[in-house]
Structure 1
Amino acid sequence: MTDTTAFDWRSFLLNWSGEWADSLPGGETRSEGDEDARRARWLGFPPASEERIAAAEERLGRRMPPSYREFLKVSDGWRHAGGFVWLLAGTEDAHWHDNESGLADMFEEHLDEDAGPEERQEADIWRRGLQLDVESDITHVLMDPEDVDENGEWAVYTWASWRAAPPERHADFLAFMRDMYREFHSLRAHRRDGEPEFANDTTRKLDAQVAQARSAALRGDWERAGKELDEAKGYGRPRAAGLGDQIRRLLGQTYMVYFEGLVTDPRYAPELLPPLVAEHAAHSYRDDSTLTFHLRGAGEDLVSLAYATLERVRAGTYRYTAAGPFGTAVERARELARWGGTDEAWRTLIDALPLWEPLGPDHLAPLGWVADPVLGPLLTPERGRELLSTPRGGRTGEAPRPTAGLDPGGLAWLAEPDPGDNPTSYRFVLVEGAAPEELPERLADGNGGGDGDGTVLNERLTLWEARRRLLHGRREFSSYDDRALVAVGRAGSGWSFAFDGDPAAFDRRRFVSPAASASAGSDTRAVVVWSGLRARHGEPFFHLSVARGGAEQYAFTYADEEVRSRGRIPQALDPSRFFGDGEDGAEAERSLLEAVAGEFGVRLPRHAIVNGRLHTFTTRSWTRPPGDGETYAVIHLRGEADRPADDDRTADDDRTADDGQGSR
């Protein structure tokens, strides 16, 4: 805790007063007191004697806190504490507030029955606080005699209704006055027409600090840079907020990150506009009236660019580019991330980062890529710190330790306890010797199932977005229509995957493995896994089938506590090794997935599947058509003009509502 009694109040207040006097526009009409203060270059009053301070304490019935007492010994009151308190109390005017404003009642009305001490403090302060504001813009300043630290200092609370925020706490009176001095600087830094340039020893020192912070950031010392920029930002120094926001955004922070003063500069707009627009798109709900709020002062061309970027971000077509060798690495990284190689993509970007060059003197790091639908999901707070710690822009320094990869390798991560993201039931197809873009031809039925033409991949989406788009406007659902919406990518050297993390219910009687059709071609192998050993509903099950050249080689299905198998199953995959009396389903699943990964040398990229954006398509149905006399259900979601159509049918009925796959 700072010893506030040793603080040099006189030097601090004299400096403040001189800067205030120099900042006043010439010819402006001022009150007599303000004019006297300007001429004297002193915002204060004569010092209070010890006797005067003691008399005030006797009147109040309490000894005042140390920092306020020391202040009074230099000035018995103060003019213009910040921008909204015009006169601050000295010994004569300080008095107990005693709910004079009625704010205790207002705050108490909004308290819940289970409100905690901090919430009750907001109400109680208005009854017991010592009021220091004498003249203000409806701004209250109270010292709390019950909020006391080990040095006897009272916390100071400020509140104004027009700020639409809870009372702000300052650790003590000295901290409050320092904050008001910063507020004075921040307000003066934004000059209006006709006002003198606000430049003094303090501003020059802070501007030099901003320049040093930028150099430190480019060397990789982002923590030091962030602290220095935050200090300068508190004083309203230009550049500080825009530079600091670049650090915050790469740490994954988006609240109140606007790249102030930089995003409207055409030099930096290609890097700073996309993340700002992407954040707007994520929270605007198609209300674009606020998009230009943080683009004040921008020219028509930049505003047009902002709306064009917004359209591309919403459509998922925004594509980040950069110049030079780093730009080449960006293209390589995008291709890797496109098919699920997020760890490789990240390393590609970081390895090329030392070759990156800033767009101007206020640019700290590449940022536009966070809005790219393929590259953006690469960012995590840990990776952001790694990027910020990497020397770049022609600076040298020690390279940081690489962050751990996000993908554990193999398949066993699918068996991890569900943290809210990992699927508990899933199915996937692995195909050897086929590129991801070839999978629709092997697994789709050609009519697309209402999702494209069935032979091409859809645009990159999260699985949640893809499911929502697939179901939008769909009205009919059949119990025999089990076409999987799958995300595709690379599953290791020479393998591709199609993954469905939200499959329909498993029915062993009607299930038809797509392994054979997926493996069509000379010596092509395909592996199908469908697991429900940890499914939230129904009996646990697990299916594995392997095909080569269009013919099934072997398969087994565990369901209803029994195993049925076909073909010669390799010893490493023999189901008897995994299922037996008292076998734990989660452990069996993990062991099976490890065995499949080891047998075929395959993996699935967890981060890309759970958090990324991958190409998708809809497969042909994983269930056979109904046989004669078999009952099935068709659910029709109808509008007002539709007749009821929910019914049970048999294979001999009219089939116009069913999927029509081999059943007419």
Structure 2
Amino acid sequence: MTTHPTWFSWSSFLRDWSGEWADTPADDATVTPVEADEVARRERWLGFPAASEERIAALEERLGRRLPPSYREFLAVSDGWRHAGGFITLLAGTADACWHRDASGLAEMFEGFLDDDPSPEELRDVAVWRRGLQLDVQSDATRVVLDPGDVDEDGEWAVYTWASWLAAPPRRFPDFAAFMRAMHGEFHRLRARAADGEPELACTTTRRLDAQVEQARIQALGGEWERAGRALEEAAEYGRPAAAGLRDQMDRLLGRTNLAHAEELVTDPRYAPELLPPLVAEHAAHRHRDDTVLTYRLRGAGDDVVALAHTLLEQVRSGTYRYTAAGPFGEAVDRAREAARWGDTGEAWRTIREALPLWQPLGPDHLAPLGWLADPLLGPLLTPERGRELLSAPRGGQPGEPRRESDAARSDPEGLAWLADQATPGAHTSYRFVLVEGVEPQELPGLLADGKGTGLDEPMTSFEARSRWRQERREVSVFDDRALVAVGRAAARWSFAFDCDGPLFAPQQFGSPVAACADARTVVVWAGPRDRNGAPFFHLSVARGGAELYTFTCADGEVRRAGPIPPGLAPDRFFGAGKKREGAEAAIRTERALLEAIADEFGVRLPRHAITRGRLHTFTTRPWSRPPGDGEARTAARLECARTDGHGARGPSAAAPHPLTPHPGGGPSRSRSPRQQP
């Protein structure tokens, strides 16, 4: 159902608009000094005499259609309109309204843009110019039509506008009243951007909207963000001060960065430390080579703000930016970063959320903490659900109880079973991980590396870590199956080392990376949807101090086991008779059941959000394949990997076969055990 604001009526709306227009200077860019305008200015009326019911009915008879209600109501107050916004000089009344019939050639133009599989929206953009009712009589390259093919349940026709200078698709309005309110807003917005020195337009509309902005600001701080957002959106359309900047802050927390483009508060030195970092991070993420793009977005800013922006840009690009805040909230931010550093993004988010009542704004137009969005460890915590949760929390001294965490905001499932979900972001063909009990994550390189990766790299995304790893490896032995693993906490007493890009599993060549783990208990899992023969594979081994306690492997359709396996992990529970060659869906169910059993047995979990979207420390393990035994030959190759030239270019390099896959022959040498060497 079409609804209008409670303050809206055509008579008062049009009368107010006319008076506001008459009060603008005659040389305003939106005013053309012609005789008709001089009359309109004296009479304070942009419209015409009302159309009688007979004139409206005659128009409907000529068109063969009943007019939509809002346009009909408009005509009953004014039979046409001058200066609808800044670019439509004359809008049609009963005498001028007519079927467009592609008089502008826009249907033909948009038709030329269609590909072989056009979307419904693209087809609509063609059709509206052939079937629409033309309303623009005089305009600055702007077309306006009412579309009888886009009708709502109240009989309202949508309005479509297009301007050549916008270089954008046609803009849609749900009805004629919405279109006219938008044009009224355009008039005010253009007036608000008028040259310096011109008096501000103070009127009923601006006073109403300014009061609305102030009320919305308080509502937003109190957690009523949806209600506040609607009020700010209207005020921003009218160009009211701070409205766009306030709405911008909300859009960023909701993940709508395509809508967050207002710079009016970003250039204010009071707010720049909080509002600049996400803007700068967005610029860096788009990999702009020309930083004048950022400078342009900060036009009007003082030298101190521009200098701060470039300092932040350097920090964001180098990964050294760290968000800080004052007081107890800042202390909570530090704790949250430490939790996120080791993969506990759920705890990191809860720490920030629970500290929100302690947060204080930098000024009256600051709605929420935003600098953390650019922090390499804290930024990945944001999801649309968490953004809504943050905006729903009272803060900045506003009263109210924080809402309990929603299920949607919990981005991490418990346990390990999510690894079997093929729809997981960054879906993997196979994965492998080590769980170590009683040690901290930073101790893992000393237990799982052999001197070639004894330290932790700085936290990086999986993509960043793997790109850097490939560039830094000057020589690769294809049977030396080392893994680049991300590390973190799997439980209160467990740490994990996870590789999301494991190769195919060959049970005869497997060698556990767990060697000298003191008295620690370790769990090794290697799984994937398919081995080289087309069957699922799953390996589990549990050891203490490097000595194997029990193990089982399902590969090539067979199950091999050793040691006293606990009943909860017994292979017969999962790989019984008839399950050796199960279908893909059944294999995934089996994998999920195995992962759930392992999580229950050891009380562990892996953080999905941190692994798939966050940044974690990494290091390189010792090989996961054993060396060749006596009398055993194995295909091997060595690959020289070119370093980048500093600009992302790479030298030529040859592709190497996978270490566990036989080479098709030719090229690589045969690797033998020491006793076989000539």
Do structure 1's residue 327 and structure 2's residue 330 form an aligned pair? yes
Pick from 545, 548, 554: which aligns with 1:549?
A: 545
Counterpart contact for 2:253–2:384, Cα < 8 Å: yes
Distance 1:133 1:324 in 2: 58
Cα displacement (A) at 1:436: 0.8
2:467 maps to what in 1? 468
Residue type at the aligned position of 2:307? S
Deviates more, 1:413-422 or 1:492-501: 413-422
2:499 maps to what in 1? 500
- Count of paired positions: 647
Q: Deviations over 1:321-355 (max 9, x none)?
A: 11100000000111111101111111111111111
Counterpart contact for 1:23–1:197, Cα < 8 Å: no
Change (3 A) 1:150 1:364: closer
Cα displacement (A) at 1:526: 1.9
Pick from 421, 434, 441: which aligns with 2:446?
A: 441
Q: Deviations over 1:425-454 (max 9, x none)?
A: 21111112221111112212213xxxxxx2
Distance 2:232 2:532 in 1: 50
1:451 maps to what in 2? none
1:402 maps to what in 2? 405
Moved over 6 A (4+): 26-29, 637-646
Cα displacement (A) at 1:263: 0.8
Pick from 583, 589, 592: which aligns with 2:591?
A: 589
Cα displacement (A) at 1:320: 0.9
Superposition pairs for residues 418-437 of structure 1, below 5 Å?
Answer: 418-437=423-442
Deviates more, 1:633-642 or 1:619-628: 633-642
Counterpart contact for 1:25–1:194, Cα < 8 Å: no
Change (3 A) 1:536 1:380: farther
Residue type at the aligned position of 2:389? E
Do structure 1's residue 14 and structure 2's residue 15 form an aligned pair? yes
Cα displacement (A) at 1:591: 3.5
Distance 2:669 2:394 in 1: 68
Deviates more, 1:182-191 or 1:148-157: 148-157
Counterpart contact for 1:47–1:73, Cα < 8 Å: yes
Q: Deviations over 1:142-196 (max 9, x none)?
A: 2334444555544332111111122223333333222211111111122312322
Pick from 244, 248, 251: which aligns with 2:247?
A: 244
Structure 2 residue matching 1:526: 3-state secondary structure: strand
Distance 1:149 1:496 in 2: 58
Distance 2:58 2:120 in 1: 33
Cα displacement (A) at 1:115: 3.7
Deviates more, 1:212-221 or 1:9-18: 9-18
Change (3 A) 1:651 1:417: closer
Cα displacement (A) at 1:499: 0.6
Superposition pairs for residues 127-206 of structure 1, below 5 Å?
Answer: 127-149=130-152, 151-206=154-209
Instruction: Report the TM-score when normalising by structure 2.
Output: 0.88
Superposition pairs for residues 572-587 of structure 1, below 5 Å?
Answer: 572-583=568-579, 584-587=586-589
Counterpart contact for 2:514–2:522, Cα < 8 Å: yes
1:459 maps to what in 2? 458
Residue type at the aligned position of 1:195? E
Counterpart contact for 2:524–2:542, Cα < 8 Å: yes
Counterpart contact for 2:425–2:612, Cα < 8 Å: no
Cα displacement (A) at 1:580: 2.3
Deviates more, 1:614-623 or 1:322-331: 614-623
Distance 1:116 1:605 in 2: 39
Distance 2:620 2:432 in 1: 13
2:659 maps to what in 1? none
Counterpart contact for 2:80–2:94, Cα < 8 Å: yes
Do structure 1's residue 560 and structure 2's residue 553 form an aligned pair? no
Change (3 A) 1:194 1:33: farther
Do structure 1's residue 604 and structure 2's residue 606 form an aligned pair? yes
Distance 1:559 1:189 in 2: 71
Change (3 A) 1:45 1:574: closer
1:209 maps to what in 2? 212
Cα displacement (A) at 1:413: 2.6
Change (3 A) 1:571 1:184: same
Superposition pairs for residues 56-95 of structure 1, below 5 Å?
Answer: 64-95=67-98
Q: Deviations over 1:430-484 (max 9, x none)?
A: 112221111112212213xxxxxx2211111121221122123757543312110
Do structure 1's residue 615 and structure 2's residue 617 form an aligned pair? yes
Structure 2 residue matching 1:86: 3-state secondary structure: strand
Change (3 A) 1:490 1:68: closer
Change (3 A) 1:27 1:72: closer
Counterpart contact for 1:143–1:157, Cα < 8 Å: yes
Cα displacement (A) at 1:61: 5.6
1:277 maps to what in 2? 280
Cα displacement (A) at 1:252: 1.8
Q: Deviations over 1:275-296 (max 9, x none)?
A: 1111222223544342223211
Distance 1:44 1:594 in 2: 72
Superposition pairs for residues 373-412 of structure 1, below 5 Å?
Answer: 373-404=376-407, 405-412=410-417
Distance 1:184 1:311 in 2: 40
Residue type at the aligned position of 2:438? G
Counterpart contact for 1:131–1:142, Cα < 8 Å: yes
Distance 1:578 1:144 in 2: 61
Structure 2 residue matching 1:647: 3-state secondary structure: coil
Distance 1:489 1:607 in 2: 12
Cα displacement (A) at 1:418: 4.1
2:528 maps to what in 1? 532
Residue type at the aligned position of 1:437? Q
Superposition pairs for residues 91-102 of structure 1, below 5 Å?
Answer: 91-102=94-105
Alignment root-mean-square deviation, CA: 3.0
Deviates more, 1:567-576 or 1:128-137: 567-576
Counterpart contact for 2:504–2:531, Cα < 8 Å: no
Q: Deviations over 1:76-99 (max 9, x none)?
A: 332211000012233333333333
Counterpart contact for 2:447–2:515, Cα < 8 Å: no
Change (3 A) 1:595 1:36: same
1:303 maps to what in 2? 306
2:661 maps to what in 1? none
Distance 1:516 1:96 in 2: 82
> How many percent identity over aligned positions?
65
Structure 2 residue matching 1:143: 3-state secondary structure: strand
Q: Deviations over 1:516-571 (max 9, x none)?
A: 33x1x2x2222212123556974333222222234333333333333334444344
Cα displacement (A) at 1:203: 0.7
Counterpart contact for 2:549–2:564, Cα < 8 Å: yes
1:659 maps to what in 2? none
Cα displacement (A) at 1:132: 2.3
Residue type at the aligned position of 1:603? R
Cα displacement (A) at 1:424: 4.7
Residue type at the aligned position of 1:561? G
Instruction: Report the TM-score when normalising by structure 1.
Output: 0.89
Counterpart contact for 1:515–1:545, Cα < 8 Å: no
Structure 2 residue matching 1:439: 3-state secondary structure: helix
Which residues of structure 2 form unaligned runs of 5+? 580-585, 643-650, 657-665
Which residues of structure 1 form unaligned runs of 5+? 448-453, 656-661
Distance 2:148 2:563 in 1: 83
Q: Deviations over 1:206-258 (max 9, x none)?
A: 11111111111111111111111111112111111111121121122211212
Deviates more, 1:50-59 or 1:411-420: 50-59
